[in-house]
C-alpha cells in the first residue's frame, strides 16, 4: 500500500493504495 498525494480525490487515493494496481 503506497500513499500518493493526499490532495487527490478519495476514490483516486483508494485506487493508489490498491495492491492490484
Neighbours of 14 (CB within 10 A): 11
Q: Which among 3, 4, 1 has a CA at the least distance from the CA of 19?
A: 1
pLDDT of residue 3: 59
Residue pair 1/17 in contact (Cβ under 8 Å)? The answer is yes
Instruction: Annotate 1-21 with DSSP letters as a single string.
Output: -----TTS-HHHHHHHH-TT-
pLDDT of residue 9: 61
- pLDDT single digits (tens) 1-21: 565 556 656 666 666 566 655
pTM across the whole model: 0.13
pLDDT of residue 17: 62
Amino acid at each position: 500500500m503506497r500513499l500518493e498525494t493526499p490532495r487527490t480525490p478519495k476514490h483516486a487515493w483508494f485506487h493508489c493504495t490498491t495492491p492490484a494496481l
